[in-house]
Amino acid sequence: MTSASDVPVSAEVPATPAAPSVWLTAPIAGWATALADVPDPVFAGRVLGDGVAIDPCESTLRSPCAGQVTTLHRAHHAVTLRAANGAELLIHIGLDTVALNGEGFTAHVAEGQTVAAGDALIDFDLEAVANRAPSLLCPIILTNLDAFAIVGRVEGRAVAAGEPILEIVALQPAASAPGEAATAAGEARLEVTLTAPYGIHARPAGLIAQRARSLGAEITLQFKGRRVSARSAIGIMGLGAARGDVVSVLARGAEGQAAAQAIAALLSSDMGDAPGAPPLPAAA
């Protein structure tokens, strides 16, 4: 069993910890590798958040902690969880596996379901996915880095499913500057039809959240009665919007109109997916 003393400790913690650290366990057995070595710029560049990746040697993905399933992508290649302590996690099986349209994947959970550490989330055909995907690497991402930080991790060796792999700690909320308040000026709303072949999955969600964080406005996305912050990749994935769906962009602040237009332009692009790729089938 790995202990904290065996694991490199992150040299940078962005705020004062508010609680003792907890360990997340490996959701699958395999070789643990640095996120920077994942051959996808969205994961390697930490657009979605920070974490590690595992090159799997088995075919069952398990929960790394107790919590709730917040999103199960309709292609069953990715799942998001909210841990009992509020940490938000994305686990993605392979790279560009959204293009497999769910072939070779079997989900054992549903959105909203409560899970315990070690519960089976998804089974996949290891050989079939390996033959069709550019990589089998499975990123495990902590996405809400405003509230949590990684202070220890296992990399560069084999790990067993259920072995501690990421040590995380909750952070003290950042204090607002004196007199700081959101302005209501510049409110804007735009309707956008998605054209990306696979709709909103991990890569587009990360790109949207990254762009929203760079803009001087409070931005939300709305779809089928659900409204989420454009800065939350997991929230955006949870919308479940597909190609052809119409998503509302709402921006509020001094730069609201410009911010809404910037996010609308991204939503109406291919968002990093191949423009000629076949779309996913409609959700059942």
Helices (H) and strands (E) in the chain, counts: 5, 18
Compute the distance between CA of residue 163 and CA of residue 157 in angstroms, rounded to an integer: 12
Active site residue 92: yes
Compute the distance between CA of residue 71 and CA of residue 60 in angstroms, rounded to an integer: 18
Written in H, E and C, the secondary structure of 199-263 is CCCHHHHHHHHHHHHCCCCEEEEEECCEEEECCCHHHHHHCCCCCCCEEEEEEECCCHHHHHHHH
In the chain, which residue ranges form alpha helices assigned H by DSSP? 41-44, 126-132, 202-213, 233-238, 256-267
**Which structure tokens are listed for 205?**
């969600």
Compute the distance between CA of residue 65 and CA of residue 133 in angstroms, rounded to an integer: 27
Phi, psi of 42 (to 5 degrees): -70, -40
CB within 8 Å of 11: residues ≥ 6 apart: none
**Which structure tokens are listed for 21?**
């650290």
Q: Which of 76, 77, 92, 201 is catalytic?
A: 92
Active site residues: 92
